[in-house]
Every structure is written in C-alpha cells, then in structure tokens.
Amino acid sequence: MSFVLDVTAMLDPVVPNGVREADWPLLAGRFREAHGAVAAIAATGVYGYRELEAQAGERTRVAQFAQSVAGQYDDVVVLGIGGSSLGAIALRTALLPPAWNARTSAQRAGRPRLHVLDNVDPRSIAGVLSIIALPRTLFVVISKSGGTIETLAQYLVVRERLEAAGLDVSRHLAFVTDPAKGALRAIAARDSIPAFAVPPNVGGRFSVLSPVGTLPAALCGIDIEALCAGASAMRDATLGDALEQNAAGLFATLQWRAHVQAGQGMHVLMPYSDALRDLAPWFVQLWAESLGKVDADGLNVGPTPIASVGATDQHSQVQLFMEGPADKTVTFLRVERGQDELTIPNLEPGEKALSFLGGHALGELLDVECRATAGALARAGRASMTMSVGAADAWHLGGLMMWLMQATTFAGALYRVNPLDQPGVELGKRLANRELGHPDLTSHDQAGLATPSLSPPRTVRVP
C-alpha cells in the first residue's frame, strides 16, 4: 500500500492555533472515545460499506453480467442522483482515459462510453439521448429505495423512448436497488429486467463499492476486484484506536479539532490530479450530508466541505485560501508521477520566461505546484495536510474512498451525530412529492406540509 498522510502543516508552530505537542494526548484520548463509539455501533451491522467480503457474491454477479453483455453496447447511461451518481463519475474520471468518451467504439475495443445523468434538467437528458443509438445503449437505473422521484422521472422518459423504438426493455435496462422492495424491484420482477442489490445497511453516499459504483465500472472494463481490494486494505489499516497510526482517524480528528477549537470549519479537498478531480465532489456530499446535523445536545453542527482542484484553482480559490478568513483547512491529494508523462521542450532558449521550463516534465511541474501551494499556505499561517498516493489506479482509488468513508464515520462520533442519516433532506423531498401529487401522502401529511406564508413577497422583475 502506498499512502502517506503528512499533517505537519496542521501543527504549531507551523500554523497559529495548530496542534501543540501537549495536545496530542488529549486528541488521542478523544479519538479513542470516538473509536469506541464507532466500534459499538459497528457491532450492530449498520456500517455495511465495510463489509466487502459479504458482498462478494453480488460483486461476482456484477462481473458476470458485464462479461455476458461485453460488446453489445456502445454507451452505458447511468440514471441516478447524489450518492447514486457521484461515485460513478469519480470512477469514470479516475480510471478511464480522458478521451475515452470521445473515441469510436472500435477505438475503445468494444468497451462502451459512460454517461451519468445526475439531474432532471431536460437539456442534459435530451442532449445525451440525441447522441446515442438506443439499440446500442444500456441504461443503468440506480435508486436504493426505488422511489427517488428524479431517477424515476428519468427512467420513465427513457422507457418510453425504448418502447417507441420497439426495443426489448429487458435488454436495455438494468436496475440497482433494494434487494426486496420498492418500485424498481417490482418492475424488474415483472419485466425480467436484470437487477442488482444495494445492501440494506449501505447508504447512498457510502455505496460506491456496491453495485451502485461497481456495475457502471465493470460495464466499462474497470477492474472492480482491484478497486475493492484496495478498499479492503485501507479498511483493515484504519480499524485501530491509536490516533497516529490510523490515517482515517487522524484526518477526522484533526479536521474536527480545527473546526471546534481553531474556528476552521471549511474543509477543502484539493486533488493535484485530473484523475482524482471528481473525488472532491464525491467527498463534498459524503462530508456534508453525513456531518451537517443536529447533535446530541440539540446544536446545529458540521463542517462545510469545498471541492477544489490544482493547479487550476491556484488561479481562483487559492487567493481566498491565502488571504481570506483563516477559517479553512486544505487537504491536498497528490499522485506519484505516472507513466503518462510529457517532457517540456526547450524551444525558446533565448527567452527567460520560457527557457527555464525546458527539460522539465509536466507531472513534475504539477507536483512542484502542489508542494509550493502547501508551502505558501504554511507561510501564511493557513492549515493544510497532504495525502500522497502511489498511483491513480483502481486499487489506490478504492483505498482513498475507504479512507474518506472511514474518516466520515469517525467524524460522526466526534461531532456526536449519526453520519448515516439525512433528516434535513427529507422535508424537501416530501414537499416536492406534495407538489407533484404523490399518492402516498395522506391528508394529514398534506396539511403538515403546508408552505408557510411569506407575506408580503419582495421581488424584483427585470424587463
């Protein structure tokens, strides 16, 4: 395993309000308490994202299905939202070549393009439907509950197109949903549509290593066994209660401490790698939806995660990180230089602004910029840490995802919230269902969901 977490720039005297030597015993004790709470809850079986061995059978079904349909499709389209889409996007960005979706089927050696429709914006859906050939497309519909209205709306639009084209829906649809209940499970049974199970104890934002992520990945030729092997290795490495030996616990504890003791409640994840850039939005959902809660004392708690990418955001967000409010931490993700390397040619030896670049590599430049940005933040007294990984491959990506999921679980105990629920999301869902006339809302529900009067309204209309 090649993961190194460097937290030097979270410490005093590197940064003001950093961790002092005398703080370590207190933080270690606080983590042991959080670890004990997590262990007690884990014994009830609710942390299904860790149970990769128990999910091996379904993973085998996924792999066998992907192999059985190999070469039949030019396009795979995921219909899903939130935790049902962000993981697939992160996997696609990291593990498929950047120009993969632009290549022809022959150039991709029969492996399909992967599209992810993670919203109900008609422009995006119509756009994808206009560039694919339905007879050569598989739609993967992902909703754990089987009742996500955005995903069901997408499904109905797609199914109408398939039926209008005279296509057998059982050959052009696959479902990922609850193993026993919900609308998608019932439709799958009725219409002989292939269906894969999300374990009941795996929530959406923790589901990337279940068929939610592994089915789209396998269909596009990604090695899902390597992905889960890396995750298993990281899980095993982050089970102990010794703070400085547990990378997930250390990340969670130092971020929590930066928030509650140093006022740094905004947590930036900044990959210096285009391969890992979409890991940041995936982390934003994981951290925000898991930790932004009402705690055991009835207080509103939780950090605010921010997605960034280097070196691009050196020319936008880093100005704020350097000289704006000192209310942020930055976590850099850097990848050891890989095989896709390009040397900068020395074409202008007489121009000082260009000549010094000649002979260096682009990967070297990116890595230098990462270290320079971390150094600049430290000089400005701004807290950061760096996670270095050996490669942007399936094994390491699985490890990174497990690292962040484990950290989220520990952080839930530190903030004293349940990281697995999302009560703040449910009211909006119910209000939307009411507006659309959902049949399962009783008259009592309807009354309870009445929108409060906002009178008098204040609006500005621009001609």
Determine the average pLDDT of the residues in 145-162: 94
- Examine the pLDDT at 360 and tell me if it is beyond 60: yes
Residue at a domain's end among 182, 201, 222: 222
pLDDT at residue 100, rounded to an integer:
62
Residue 38 lies in a domain: yes
Query: Distance (Å, rounded) from C-alpha 449 to C-alpha 427?
Result: 8
d(CA 190, CA 265): 49
**Residues 67-84 pLDDT 10s:** 999 999 999 999 999 999
Task: Report the pLDDT value the prediction gives residue 226, as an integer from 0 to 100.
Answer: 98
Lowest mean pLDDT among 6-20, 76-90, 188-202, 345-359: 345-359
208 in Cβ contact with 401 (< 8 Å): yes
Whether omega before 383 lies within 30 degrees of 0, making that bond cis, reads: no
200 with 240, same domain: the answer is no
Lowest-pLDDT range of 32-36, 294-298, 303-307, 346-350? 346-350
pLDDT at 443: 52
Number of helices and strands in the chain (H, E) = 16, 12
| Residue 435, pLDDT above cutoff 80 | no
In this structure, the answer to whether residues 37 and 78 fall within a common structural domain is no
Whether omega before 13 lies within 30 degrees of 0, making that bond cis, reads yes
Judge whether 173 and 141 are in contact, CB under 8 Å: yes
Q: Can you tell me the distance from the alpha carbon of 175 to that of 197, in angstroms, rounded to the nearest whole number?
A: 8
Residue 63: how many CB atoms within 10 A of its CB? Answer: 16
298 falls within a domain: yes
Within a domain: 447:
no
Per-residue pLDDT of 163-183, as tens digits, reads: 999 999 999 999 999 999 999
Q: 112 and 35 in one domain?
A: no
- Residue 289 identity: E
- The verdict on 10 and 61 lying in the same domain is no
Does 456 map to a domain?
A: no
- 19 assigned to some structural domain: yes
Report the pLDDT averaged over residues 215-226: 97
Could you give the number of structural domains in the chain?
A: 2
**What token pair was written down for 336?**
């050891």
Q: Where does a domain end: 172, 193, 222?
A: 222
Q: What is the CATH number of the domain that holds 190?
A: 3.40.50.10490
Question: Are the C-beta atoms of 259 and 303 separated by less than 8 Å?
Answer: yes
Task: Specify the pLDDT at position 107.
Answer: 55
Query: Does any domain span residue 448?
Result: no
Same-domain pairing of 203 and 324: no
* Torsions phi, psi for 391 (to 5 deg): -165, 160
- SS3 assignment, position 355: helix
Residue 147 has pLDDT above 70, yes or no: yes
Per the domain annotation, does 156 fall within a domain?
A: yes
Q: Is the peptide bond before 456 cis (omega within 30 degrees of 0)?
A: yes
Q: Mean pLDDT, to the nearest integer, of 277-284?
A: 98
Domain boundary at 170, 204, 222, which? 222
Q: Do residues 214 and 224 touch, judged by C-beta distance below 8 A? A: yes
> What does the mean pLDDT of the chain come to?
92
Q: Which of the residues are catalytic?
A: 289, 315, 429
pLDDT of residue 218 exceeding 70 = yes
Report the Cα–Cα distance between both ends of the chain, in Å, rounded.
60
Q: Does residue 206 share a domain with residue 154? A: yes
Mean pLDDT, range 367-377, rounded to an integer = 96
Of the pLDDT bands very low, low, confident and very high (cuts 50, 70, 90), residue 453 is low
Domain identity same for 290 and 396: yes
Mean pLDDT of 440-457: 58
Indicate whether 142 and 61 sit together in one domain.
yes
255 and 336 assigned to the same domain: yes
Residue-range definition of the domain harbouring residue 214 = 49-222
pLDDT (mean) for 252-264: 97
Report pLDDT for 102.
Answer: 65
Confidence of residue 422 (pLDDT cuts 50, 70, 90): confident
Q: What is the pLDDT of residue 62?
A: 98
Residue with the bigger pLDDT between 342 and 64: it is 64
Q: Are residues 288 and 411 in the same domain?
A: yes
- d(C-alpha 103, C-alpha 107), whole Å: 6
The answer to whether residue 103 sits within a structural domain is yes
> Do residue 214 and residue 266 come from a single domain?
no
Judgement on whether residues 336 and 409 belong to the same structural domain of the protein: yes
Q: Place 104 in a pLDDT band, splitting at 50, 70 and 90.
A: low
Tell whether the model's pLDDT for residue 431 goes beyond 80. no
Q: What is the pLDDT of residue 456?
A: 72
Q: 């504890």: which residue's tokens?
A: 253
- Name residue 58's amino acid: E
Give me the pLDDT at residue 97, please. 77
